[in-house]
Amino acid sequence: MTSNEKIGYTNPGYLNTMLGRLFSNLPGFAYRCIYDEYWTMEFMSAGCYSVTGYKPEEIILNNKSSYLELIYPQDRKKVRSNVEKGYSQNKQFSIEYRIRHKSGDIIWVWERGICITDEDENLTHIEGYVSDITARKENELELQERKKIYQDLVELSPDGIIIVDIKGRIYNVNKAFCDMSGYKSEDFIDKSIFKIPTMIRSKKVMYKSIVKAVFSGKKNNDIHFQFKDIKGNIKLAEARNSRIIIKGKMMIMGIIRDITDQDDERRLLINSKMKTEALLNASPDMMFVFDRNGKILDYKADPKNLFYRDRNLISMHISDILPKNIVSKTMRKINNTLDTGKMNELTYELDLPETGKKYFESRIVKSGHNQVTAIIRDITKRKNMELKLIEAKEDAEEGNRLKSAFLANMNHEIRTPMNAIMGFSSLLKNTEDKEKRDKYLDLLNTSSNYLLHLIDDVILYSRLQSEKISIEEKSIDLEILLDDLYRTVRDSEELKNLSLELTIPKECRKLNFLGDREKIWEVLNIFINNAMKYTDSGFVRIGAIKDEDMIRIYVQDSGCGIPEKDHKKVFQRFYRSSLVVENSINGTGLGLSIASELAKIMGAEIGFKSTLGEGSLFYIDLKYLRANDMKSEKAINNIEPLSISDMKVLVAEDDAPSILYLKEILRKMVKEIDHAPNGQVAVDMVKKNTYDCILMDVKMPVMDGIEATKLIKASYPKLPVIIQTAFTQAEDKKRAMNSGADAYISKPIDAKHLEELISSFLETSET
């Protein structure tokens, strides 16, 4: 086994750990908990915050709240019962239940887990995944409520209602339908309409002709027929029908009224008419009565929905209330209704002076000799909702397509360096040729760096989507920033044979402004990486322009350019140009979307100019905020390492591969190395020994590195402490430095960088 394998950089298990960190940033959260009374969490991924409102460390080991306290009290018994049932069957379970968010809101979650047992098959732990399903659950509950309302309306209707499928089989009937005949619902449901007990056999032919006419959909006039009740009495009924869709199938709904006692109906006619008029007056719909020529005979309308503002419209023409293009369509519908007796529908759009653009639906029915009634409904809200739904559907389809392409591309992007890492790791075992081993090691290092960069991109994008990222504005010297960027790119292997240019006009030299250096650097780095990736020959240029209240920093290249059809989608997540896909250029499609999100956070704007075949220019526009009262940053120069061979270093680290790696690289630098497996031991060892420098890991058992650093610095303020951790975000660095640490280095640790850091403390180190 080689030294690299011992360390873990070529070990597939190490890669799985990195991939675990990658997927822990996806929506929802993974967890591991002890099967006890409180569901004590031992691990929760970062997605815990977006689901519960709590940070993982607030719930892990019941620090501030146990997971049991989050579960809605009425659901706790159900959750435990479900887990125990899963354990007794196949050791797996899934369940939906409610939890109380930190904000106090009740949300729904879906959980899938697996039961972990000890050697005696006793349940000890649970591992699984939890995601927020509140939106879906609320939709389900809303649908159930609507269904109940619909059922109540049907059951409370005074008229009989019967629903029949296209084969004549009864799907449902309501209580009023049963009351008319005296039979129960089971005497009708799921039976042929020709075999129900109310059927009069001598009139079977008439029934069939009625049913045929109903299903043909040609007419919707009142239908009259006779039926027999449970006592054998023959009664007369009146019915109207309409087509409806239930579970994707077309059915006919009949509304039936018993009109046997016709005299009683006449006595109720006046009251019915009064009720009808009251309903019409209460209706929000407009109603117009027109003759064949379009003359207004009567109306009920709100003037704000019309072009004409006069109070009385009687005897005026339809052209006085509608524009010409809609008048011609309406007149054709009026004449067709009068000639055929059929109802006509018309949907149109109006741009009204007071209310703006509105949509209307008009239903025109024959209401007398040579006259029609148009019932006009304002459908603006519905229409706008439909348009938004169409737009949302198109966006969702495009998003799903891009997401699928992203996942497929990610699969390729991850497996490619993994293939190289695993392949060359195997080859290293079987070769003694130094030249080949060096070549294999270089390829392993390149593939590992690529995979690390890929993980950083995905984690950063995930954080930008799910967290509120803070801004740290400091004084920035524009010339130094661009010079540092230039020096970094100049030494990059990605530059290939391209010419790198730096353009800093006179007005941009010695210019200080306030900004977040790390985020600006990240945006420009994305621009530069893209420029080098898509430029085979020519130049990459870094430059700046100063306006009165704006600084534009740009990256220009002479590469392939971007097709015009792709311009609107360049900054969309997961999007990759058609030219990139065709030429099989590596990439995740996240870079520019990350740059766009970072710019929004800083209140900056990004954009680009590009011509296919002639190159591209990407820029970020930053507000120019003068920083006169702040000290300018110092230029970052290459530090020549001092001699550190006499130093004694304490390494506080609990991960075995990391300990081995640090000892290997430090053995060539310093005189003596001590090891502490956790923060508490490190504090104790500092009290008993003299050290020149401490390398302190953050995440350790018993006592973490942050707390240990605070205690050490309280007693030995001049003893240099370098925080070394796999947490790489700006907030992590800030937390580490707030503990009193003198420097911060992120994993994977570069030996040269570590040597430079330790050397910088040589002259001042003392306990």
Kindly report, residue by residue over 481-509, the tens digit of the pLDDT: 888 888 878 877 677 788 889 998 888 88
Flag whether pLDDT at 231 surpasses 80.
yes
Q: Please tell me which of 18-22, 91-95, 268-272, 281-285 the model is most confident about, judged by mean pLDDT.
A: 91-95
Structure tokens at 424: 């060359």
C-beta of residue 755 within 8 angstroms of C-beta of residue 670: no
Distance of CA 120 to the CA centre of its chain: 43
Q: Helix (H, G, I), strand (E, B), or coil: what is residue 125? A: strand
**130 pLDDT above the threshold of 80:** yes
Give the 3-state secondary structure of residue 726: coil
Which residues pair with residue 289 across a beta bridge? Answer: 298, 373
Residue 637 pLDDT > 50, yes or no? no
Q: Mean pLDDT over all residues of the chain?
A: 78
Q: What is the pLDDT of residue 74?
A: 92
- Joined together, the tokens standing for residue 716 give 């030995």
CA distance linking residue 49 with residue 29, whole number of Å: 9
Instruction: Please tell me whether residue 436 adopts helix, strand or coil conformation.
Output: helix
- Percent of the chain that is helix, strand, coil (3-state, to 5): 45, 25, 30
Indicate the burial class of 75 (C-beta count within 10 angstroms; 0-12, 13-18, 19 or more): middle
Out of 214-223, 275-284, 551-560, 735-744, least confident range: 275-284
Look at residue 14 and tell me whether its pLDDT is greater than 50.
Answer: no
pLDDT over 90 at 404, yes or no: no
- What residues contact 718, with CB distance under 8 A and at least 6 apart? 764, 765, 766, 767
Helix (H, G, I), strand (E, B) or coil at 516: coil
- Banded model confidence at residue 112, pLDDT cuts 50, 70, 90: very high
Q: Which amino acid, one-letter code, is at 668?
A: K
Residues 233-254, mean pLDDT to the nearest whole number: 81
Q: Which amino acid is at 430?
A: N
Top-ranked range on mean pLDDT: pick from 261-265, 350-354, 703-707: 703-707
Q: Dump pLDDT digits (tens) for 571-612.
A: 776 555 555 555 445 555 677 878 888 888 888 899 999 888
Predicted confidence at residue 420, as pLDDT, reads 63
Task: Grade residue 266 by pLDDT with cuts at 50, 70 and 90.
Answer: very low
The pLDDT value given to residue 173: 86
Q: Residue 322: is its pLDDT beyond 60?
A: yes
The proportion of the chain whose per-residue pLDDT surpasses 70, expressed as a percent, equals 74
Residues 6+ apart with CB under 8 A from 747: 658, 724, 725, 726, 728
> What is the pLDDT at residue 354?
67
Lowest mean pLDDT among 261-265, 637-641, 661-665: 637-641
Per-residue pLDDT, averaged over 108-135, amounts to 91
Examine residue 748 and say whether the peptide bond preceding it is cis (omega within 30 degrees of 0).
yes
> Can you give the pLDDT at residue 138?
82
Mean pLDDT in residue range 455-474: 66
What is the tens place of the pLDDT at every residue in 172-194?
888 888 888 889 888 888 888 88
| Least trusted range by pLDDT, from 37-51, 195-209, 210-224, 744-758 | 210-224
Q: What is the DSSP letter of 139?
A: H
DSSP sequence for 353-418: TTTEEEEEEEEEEEEETTEEEEEEEE-HHHHHHHHHHHHHHHHHHHHHHHHHHHHHHHHHHHHHHH
- Of 398-402, 408-412, 650-654, 726-730, which has the strongest mean pLDDT? 650-654
Q: Report the residue count for the chain.
A: 767
- Please determine, for residue 127, whether its predicted confidence score (pLDDT) is greater than 90: yes
Per DSSP, the three-state class of 750 is: coil
Report CA Rg, the chain: 38
Element (H, E) at 59: helix 56-59
SS3 568: helix
Task: Give me the pLDDT at residue 767, please.
Answer: 41
DSSP assignment letter at 8? T
**686 vs 184: CA distance, rounded Å:** 89
Residue 573 or 622, more confident: 622
CB 431 within 8 A of CB 440: yes
> How is residue 644 written in tokens?
């550190």
Q: Is the pLDDT of residue 115 over 70?
A: yes
Model confidence pLDDT, tens digit, residues 364-383 = 988 878 888 888 888 888 88
For 539-668, list the strands marked E by DSSP: 539-546, 550-557, 605-611, 615-623, 648-652
Lowest pLDDT segment from 92-96, 136-140, 427-431: 427-431
pLDDT at 219: 46
Q: Is the pLDDT of residue 19 over 80?
A: no
Q: Which amino acid is at 725?
A: T
* pLDDT of res. 300: 74
Q: What global pTM score does this model have?
A: 0.38
Name the one residue in this structure whose structure tokens are 């990256």.
555
Q: In angstroms, rounded to a whole number, what is the distance separating the alpha carbons of residues 4 and 425?
A: 9
